[in-house]
Structures are given as C-alpha cells and as structure tokens.
Structure 1
C-alpha cells in the first residue's frame, strides 16, 4: 500500500477511535455541569471536534493527494474556529454581565426596603437567567445558613466571574465596616455600566481596523482566483505538491498569523 492510501486509513482510524459514545458524552456533561455551562459545552464538543477534524483531513488527503493541502486547511480552519469561538465568548460575557446588572438592581432595591440578604439574593435570582441566577441562589443559600453571601459570589465561575468578584469585595467591606450595602452595590452596577459603555465605544472604533485585516487576509485568495481566470493555473501549482505545496502552507500560515496578531492587538486595547 502506498503512503497516499496508508495515511488516510490511519487518520480515519484515529477519527473513529476518538469519537466517544453517547454514554460517555452524557457522563462528561453530568460531571462538569456544576462548574459552568460554557465549560460543559466545550468538554462535550471537544472529542467530537477532534474526530471531525481527523475525518476531514482524511477526505482532503484522499481527494487532493497532498499533505500540504491538509496542513493549509487545518491552519485556516483553526484560525476561523478560534475567531468564532472568541466572538461567541464575547457575546456570552456581555449577556451575563447585563444579567448581573439586572440582578444588582433587584438586590439593591430589596436591601433598601429592609429585606434579609438571603431573600434579596433570591429575588435577584428570579430576575436573571442561568447561569447567573445560580450564583445569586448560591449566595442566598449562604446567607440563609448564617454565612456571608459574599462567599457565594466569590466562588462564581464563567464570563461574569469578574463582576461577581466585585460584588463579593464590596459585600465583605460592608460586613466588616458596617457600611450601607445597597449603596455599594449601586456603585458596582454603575461601574459595570461604565465599563460596558467604554467597551462598546472601543469596539466600534476598532471595527474598521478589524475589517481591513480581514480584507487583507483575503486578498491572496482573490489574486489566485484572478490568476485562474486569466489562465495562469495557480491552483494547479499550489495543489500539485512540491514547491507549490510549500508556498500554499507558508501563505496560509502568514495570513492566519496576520489575523491572529490583529485580534491580539485589538483585544488588548479593549481589555
């Protein structure tokens, strides 16, 4: 058997070996459910994603007969997957921080009228969606058992963990020094709103730079397409292996590196 046949068979076998059964996926989701919803989804999808990548690599090698095509496709796919995952994580963080702000409104209002911290946290949980509501319920349980609700907020995980850490910090300050907790919570909410407004303005200002980076990364593809229309047959050179395969991998790596570096710079400005 030639290498062109052996390598696809090995990759296909790896794909089948890495694909977990349904029972295993259920156990993964059950064990990680208490940590965070996001972590649960990532743990459940990771083995399937690895198996899908191995199967796709098998198909590409069989169709093209070139390992360079597979390497270039994996580079582009990994870059696209990373950018989509980061965008999804940003949307999730924004939604959860907004839910925390809504919960803080209810929490501060309940404490202002003299409600017990446990009842106030429970009322705030009713105004939020999971997993933010679960954190408020944990804090309510802590307060109901005689402890400090700050410990419930401090143990929170996920995209809104930083916001909950701020709530825990001001709660501990109020417990230690006897300050008005409702006013401190309103200050935390105002701080979260200010940070959200700053992030939106910064994201809007960086939209042009990100669009320019995406256009520049796609220009080589447009150039190759124009060369193909002119009869220069660049695809045959790039997909034919040898020097063309090396150029395909290097070009794909440089384009992906440019996108990665642009995202790193813009995200550092936003954060």
Structure 2
C-alpha cells in the first residue's frame, strides 16, 4: 500500500459518518447531567506539608499539617453553610409556588409535578415524594419529609394543605432573614479573629526586617522545631474556637427532645367488703 493510499484510508475512517440510529436515540434519551464536584482535589492538601517538611523538617510538617487541616475545615464549613442558606431560599420559593398552585384549586399531585419542573434540583425529590403520596393516597406517619408530614396532617385533621405549607414558607423566610442578619453583625468579629490569627506571621516578617532572623530560629534550631508546631496549634485552636462561637450563634443546636413523662400506672382498687 502506497503512503497516499494509507493517508486516504485514514482520512476516510476519521470522517466516517456516525450511525444515524444511535444518533437519534441519543437525542431522544440524553445522558443525565454530571453533578459538579463540591470538594477540592484532596491531593492538593498534601502540597503545604511537603513543602514545609523540605524547608523546616519535622516542625514545619506538624505546623503545616495543622494549619492546612484547619483552613480546609473552615472552607468546608463555610461552603456547607452557604449551601444550606441556598437550599432554604430555594425551598421557600418552591413553597410559595406550590401554595399559589394549591389555592387556585389544583390537585396536590398536579401542583407538585408542575412546580417540580421549575424548582431547584435540591427540592425536586421532595416534590416528587409529595406528588407520589398525593396521587397514591399514601399517608406516612413517620418521615423526615416536611411536605409529607404536612400532607399527612392536612389529611388527618382536615386542615387546608395550602395553609400548612404557607406557614412552613413563612418560617423558612424568617429563619433565613434572621441568619443573614446575625451573620452580617458577626462579620466584624470574624474579621478580628482572622487578623489576630495572622499577627504571628506579621511578627515574623517584622523580625526578618529587623535582622533578628526568626525564620532561622524556627527552622534550624531545636527550640524552633519545638515552638513552631506549638504556635501553629495555638493559632488553629483560636480559629476553631472563634468558628465554634459564631457557628453556635448563627446555627444553634436544637434541643434534644425530652423523654415523655412516665404514665402513672393505674392502681388496682381492691374491692372492700360492703358493710353489712
């Protein structure tokens, strides 16, 4: 085979048209969209400890590990709180649409299915469960789905479902508004905690500017190898403590349900002999 014939054959294989049947089927049933990754690449977290080990040996390894873990934990916590606020806002908007549909006389199953087409992806499973329960007439008594519990309460006690969902919407909006106000007021405290955490680094830079060589002491002396991880642990402890205080303020832990009081045991009344 000549080189020209081989080149023509390769071009023919490259530009060979796809099979039309598979192309049509792919258009009718497109693949589901891929969910974006919400967590950073885990191997990147190993870079700061490795670099610190090369520069400051075992003390740098311990200090960099503690700081990297604390910053990664803070980033994960902030992302989860942001996601929770977004979910509450989307749930409130979905409940508003659902209440509007119900008050126009739409059946709960049809209303849930109609709202699910325009709702946030995080709320679609909840609406689908409500539509299924309303269509099949199911009334689960023990479930974590707030819409299903509202549907069950409306069916058992004759309360309009729109009123229950509207009360749930107002509660969500009030909690979201309160959380936003508290976080805005705590912005100054969080900035102060961040500034206090960076003061040791500024002190080290100031010492280097004064030719005190604190980096040499921390990385090349036994005392520095001992003090470097201790200082990093103190910084991490301060950051975690301030984060815990602000988290308890903006996201208080709900109280644990108390055990129901013991029911009094019925006393057996002994039949006294009637006086003769």
Question: Fold match, TM over 0.5?
Answer: yes
CA distance in 1 between counterparts of 2:202 and 2:159 reads 63
Q: Is 1:210 matched up with 2:190?
A: yes
Unaligned runs of 5+ in 2: 1-31, 252-276
Please identify which structure carries the higher helix content: 1
TM-score, scaled relative to structure 1: 0.73
Q: CA deviation at 1:226?
A: 0.2
Q: CA deviation at 1:150?
A: 8.3
Q: Is 1:100 matched up with 2:80?
A: no
Aligned-pair RMSD on alpha carbons?
A: 2.4
Aligned equivalent of 1:86: 77
The answer (yes or no) to whether the contact 1:117–1:149 under 8 Å persists in 2 is no
Aligned equivalent of 1:116: 107
Q: CA deviation at 1:56?
A: 5.0
Moved over 6 A (4+): none
3-state SS of paired residue (1:115): coil
CA distance in 2 between counterparts of 1:174 and 1:241 reads 72
Aligned equivalent of 1:147: 138
CA distance in 2 between counterparts of 1:93 and 1:139 reads 21
Q: Relative contact order, CA 8 A, sep 6+: which one is greater?
A: 2
Q: Deviations over 1:14-67 (max 9, x none)?
A: xxxxxxxxxxxxxxxxxxx9xxx79x855xx6xx51x44446534442x22511
Q: CA deviation at 1:146?
A: 3.0
The answer (yes or no) to whether the contact 2:139–2:148 under 8 Å persists in 1 is no
Q: CA deviation at 1:188?
A: 0.9
Structure with larger Rg: 2
Flag the 1:199–1:120 CA change in 2: closer, same or farther, 3 A: same
CA distance in 2 between counterparts of 1:251 and 1:129 reads 45
TM-score, scaled relative to structure 2: 0.72
Q: Is 1:129 matched up with 2:120?
A: yes
